[in-house]
Structure 1
Amino acid sequence: MDLKAHIRGIPDFPKPGILFYDISTLLRHGPAWNEAVRRMADIVAAKKPDVLAGIESRGFLLAAPIAHALGIGFIMLRKPRKLPGAVLGLSYALEYGEDRIEMQADAVEKGSRVVILDDLLATGGTLGAGINLLQQAGADVVGAVTLIELTFLGGRSRIHAPFESLLSYDE
Structure 2
Amino acid sequence: MTSALALPENVVRDGNFAMPLPTNWSTTSTGKAGSSFRITPPDGASEAQASLAVVAVAPVNNVQPMPSEQRKMLGGVMFTDLRHTVIDRMITAGGWVVNDRQRDIGGHRVFEVIAQTPATSDGRPEQVWNYYFTEINGRVYSLVTRSSNVAYQKIAVDAEQFLSTFRPMEPRR
TM-score (norm 1): 0.29
- Larger helix proportion of the pair: 1
Name the structure, 1 or 2, with higher relative contact order (CA <8 Å, separation 6+): 2
TM-score (norm 2): 0.29
Structure number with larger C-alpha Rg: 2
